[in-house]
Structure formats: structure tokens, C-alpha cells
């Protein structure tokens, strides 16, 4: 029976901890961002178009501007925002002005920057936290040391992940405090379980 509990808890945790957290137009904080846009004249690409980009951070301050380069292999216009300019968390807005060959047009776009590169996954985080604490509580309630230790491993993972990446788009003293509490609980229970194994 104990072995079945361990396998069931491990499978549930593995499933939820391995879910993909990919979101469109969302990038990780402090990493370079390559912006690619197809610019067409009558549906056809052209390398003779002059495309300029202006990027503003979440405080609406211009952090980068310049000419986009034409990529002959993808037929897109590219611009790379260096990692030193992506430190603010939030929505970045940018305008692209294209002119040449009878084209004169400006369009606006945006992208998100978050600590982990994910957004809109707050429910996943809460589910991961509840499951980790739930497995720990189940192990303590059943007095099953292997399940309890599995719960502490999950709490270590959750605590370290939140410490580095925050919760969804939030990373502040509150999320750091929660991660320290989670790591503290995991450490205390791990030591207690190791002590019980030794004296038994």
C-alpha cells in the first residue's frame, strides 16, 4: 500500500512539474530579444524597404531605436534588443515605420517580459504549490516517510523556482519571502524525517 502511495504521488507531481509553460510574445527578463516582422509590398518581400523601429519599456521610455535588417533567408526584417535593456518586467511597446517602393506605413506592436519568460500561468503555480504541500501533508498524516520525503523534494523545487522566477509576472519581496518559507518547511521536515529514520 505504501509503495502505491509513493508511485501515485510521484506520477502526479511529475505530470504537473513537467508541463510546458510557453506563452506567445513573452520573453525572459535579462535576455536578448530578437524581433522579426515580415514587411511586404503587394504581398511580396523586398530588401529595399527602409524599416526603423522604436522600442519603449513599461515606463514608456524609449530604450532602443534603429534600422531593422533584412534577412534574405527568412525574408523578414529583424532587430535585436540587447539583454541589458530587458530588465524591466511588464509590457514593452514598439513601433515599426516602413518606407520605400511606394510604401509608407507605421504599425505598433507589443511584447511581455517576465522573470521566467512565462505569463498567464498563475493557476499552474498555485496548483503546483497546493500539490507539493498536499503530498507533504499526506505523508505526515499517513506517517509514511517516503511520501513525506517526496513532498519535501517537491517543496525544494517549488521554493527554488519561485525564488529565481517569482510567481507568473510577479517577483518581489513577497514572492521571495514565500520561497524562503517553503524552503524552510522542506528543510525542517527533511531533517526531522532523516532523524526518525536514523533512530528507528
Q: What are the distances in angstroms from CA 112 to CA 27, 36, 125?
A: 6, 15, 19
Which pTM does this prediction carry? 0.63
What is the pLDDT, as a whole number, of residue 15?
46
Quick check: 115 pLDDT over 50?
yes
Which of residues 194 and 21 earns the better pLDDT score? 194
pLDDT digits (tens, 9 = 90+) for 6-39: 555 555 445 444 443 333 488 988 899 999 999 8
Per-domain residue ranges of the chain: 2-21+121-199, 26-114
The domain defined by 26-114 folds into: Immunoglobulin-like (2.60.40)
What is the pLDDT, as a whole number, of residue 56?
97
What is the pLDDT, as a whole number, of residue 16?
44
Quick check: 124 pLDDT over 50?
yes
Q: What is the largest CA-CA distance in the chain?
A: 84
Instruction: Please tell me the distance from the alpha carbon of residue 182 to that of residue 80, in angstroms, as a whole number.
Output: 38
Q: Which three cell numbers stand for residue 173?
A: 519581496
Quick check: 119 pLDDT over 80?
no
Instruction: Please tell me the distance from the alpha carbon of residue 61 to that of residue 83, in angstroms, as a whole number.
Output: 16
- Provide, rounded to the nearest whole percent, the portion of the chain with pLDDT above 90: 43
Q: Give how far the C-alpha of residue 154 lies from the chain's centroid of Cα atoms, to the nearest Å.
A: 18
Instruction: Please state whether beta strands 62-67 and 103-114 pair in parallel, antiparallel, or not at all (unpaired).
Output: unpaired
Q: What angle do CA 178, 180, 183 make, to 5 degrees?
A: 110
| DSSP conformation class of 118 | -
Which of residues 134 and 18 earns the better pLDDT score? 134
Amino acid at each position: 500500500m505504501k509503495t502505491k502511495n509513493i508511485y501515485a504521488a510521484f506520477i502526479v507531481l511529475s505530470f504537473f512539474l513537467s508541463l510546458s509553460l510557453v506563452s506567445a510574445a513573452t520573453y525572459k527578463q535579462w535576455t536578448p530579444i530578437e524581433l522579426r516582422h515580415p514587411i511586404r509590398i503587394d504581398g511580396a518581400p523586398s530588401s529595399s524597404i527602409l524599416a526603423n523601429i522604436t522600442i519603449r519599456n513599461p515606463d514608456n521610455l524609449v530604450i532602443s531605436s534603429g534600422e531593422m535588417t533584412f534577412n534574405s533567408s527568412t525574408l523578414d526584417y529583424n532587430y535585436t534588443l540587447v539583454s541589458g535593456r530587458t530588465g524591466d518586467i511588464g509590457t514593452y511597446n514598439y513601433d515599426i515605420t516602413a518606407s520605400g517602393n511606394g510604401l509608407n506605413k507605421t504599425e505598433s506592436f507589443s511584447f511581455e517580459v517576465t522573470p521566467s519568460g512565462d505569463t498567464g500561468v498563475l493557476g499552474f503555480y498555485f496548483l503546483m504549490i497546493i500539490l507539493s504541500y498536499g503530498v507533504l501533508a499526506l505523508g505526515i498524516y499517513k506517517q509514511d516517510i517516503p511520501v513525506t520525503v517526496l513532498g519535501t523534494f517537491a517543496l525544494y523545487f517549488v521554493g527554488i523556482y519561485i525564488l529565481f522566477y517569482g510567481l507568473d509576472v510577479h517577483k518581489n519581496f513577497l514572492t521571495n519571502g514565500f520561497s524562503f518559507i517553503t524552503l524552510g518547511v522542506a528543510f525542517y521536515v527533511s531533517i526531522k524525517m532523516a532523524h526518525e529514520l536514523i533512530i528507528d
